[in-house]
Amino acid sequence: MHKITLIPGDGIGPEVSKAMQMVVEASGAQIEWEEVEAGAHQIEKYGTPLPDHVIEAVKKNKIAIKGPITTPVGKGFKSVNVTLRQTLDLYVNLRPIKSFKGIPSRYENIDLVIVRENTEDLYAGIEHKIGDYGAESIKLITKPACERIVEFAMDYAEKNGRKLVTAIHKANIMKLSDGLFLETAREVAEAHKDVDFSDLIVDAAAMNLVMYPERYDVMVMPNLYGDILSDLGAGLVGGLGMIPGANIGKDYAVFEAVHGSAPQIAGLQKANPTALIQSAVMMLRHIGEKECAEKIEKALAVVFEKGECLTEDLGGKATTFQFAEALCNAM
Ligand code: NAI
């Protein structure tokens, strides 16, 4: 029996979390869920959107899966997601982007992996006002953080039979910060002769991913570029309802979809739970439940290829739970 911390989140989080639980249980995985709440609705009770007992629950069980959590724009509390990643030093954000047959998309056979640095860059939260005149956000890039994220990407490529790692940067303009990232990436890549290494400026990467996605394999990058290119990647394979993610550190791992809380469709049973279900597949592999992970992946492939039970974002009419039930039946 594996004890897993479940943070359902807000917006569409509770719906997609429930759907994910249905599917994981149907796979036969022996999971005991320890559910804890984080988000704006916790502020009145605990004075913070991320109470200490939530952090403690993740630390105790070491593995968590979470739904999205809303962050106020331009004001209010710091992102719970970013705080969780920084507090637990979950320095890797691993996001596989893969096509399924039957999903409406302009592309076929996409198979990319984004490795996003998760603790620093413009997300370090170092900002200040310059009177009424302006504001300044510091882009923090450190050598140890560059080393460990590129090391992870190269190691991941080696272990998963990937051929190429591309470092994404803007070192032509940010010569010191992105320059350090690129220089370190080159140094780390030198020690991994079995995997090819290249680099690309982020704006060119955005265009190339749309025009020639087949040229890329594993892509490693600082935090902000990873955030943006992940959504671009989602657009290649059917949208944000599809893409999973894993926040991984030395001691803990928190699995979550790339998408946010989608407040426009919250509570309407319109959300596609695939992204969180695929995050659960990553989690099952991480805890050694390979067979259960494969069962769910096969069920996804079958249901998508049949195309009879798709959620609205994929052009279908199925509700969140109907889609989850179709996966359970396929298993
Ligand atoms: P979003 O990802 O919530 O939504 C963008 C678009 O994709 C919307 O049209 C939405 O309806 C659609 N969408 C997203 N997930 C979907 C799903 N599973 N099924 C069907 N359609 C889906 O991004 P947005 O609107 O920028 O952010 C909303 C809130 O979520 C913000 O407060 C943001 O800070 C937060 N957020 C939280 C994240 C997390 O908890 N890890 C990640 C990204 C955003």
**Domain residue extents for the chain:** 1-92+242-331, 111-236
Position of tokens 């970013």?
A: 82
Superfamily classification of domain 111-236: Isopropylmalate Dehydrogenase (3.40.718.10)
With a 6 Å cutoff on the Cβ, whether 259 touches ligand 1 is: yes
Three-class secondary structure of residue 196 per DSSP: strand
b/e map of 125-134 (b: 16 or more CB within 10 Å)? eeeeeeeeee
What span, in angstroms and rounded, lies between the C-alpha atoms of 101 and 331?
18
Transcribe 97-119 into DSSP letters.
EE--TTS--S-SS-EEEEEEE-S
With a 6 Å cutoff on the Cβ, whether 69 touches ligand 1 is: yes
The pTM is what?
0.95
Ligand 1 atom nearest to 16, measured from its CA: 18
Q: What pLDDT shows up at residue 13?
A: 96
Q: What pLDDT shows up at residue 75?
A: 82
Q: How far is CA 27 from CA 169, 291, 295, 326, 327, in A?
A: 40, 9, 6, 13, 10
Q: What pLDDT shows up at residue 104?
A: 86
| Kind and range of the H or E run holding 63 | strand 63-66
1-92+242-331 belongs to CATH 2.40.30.10: no
Q: What pLDDT shows up at residue 72?
A: 84
With a 6 Å cutoff on the Cβ, whether 261 touches ligand 1 is: yes
Ligand 1 midpoint to CA 198 (Å)? 31
What span, in angstroms and rounded, lies between the C-alpha atoms of 143 and 124?
15
State the catalytic residues.
123, 170, 203, 227
Q: What pLDDT shows up at residue 73?
A: 86
Position of tokens 């928190």?
A: 254
Q: What pLDDT shows up at residue 76?
A: 81
pLDDT < 50 stretches in the chain = none
Tens-place pLDDT, residues 171-209:
999 999 999 999 999 999 999 999 999 999 999 999 999
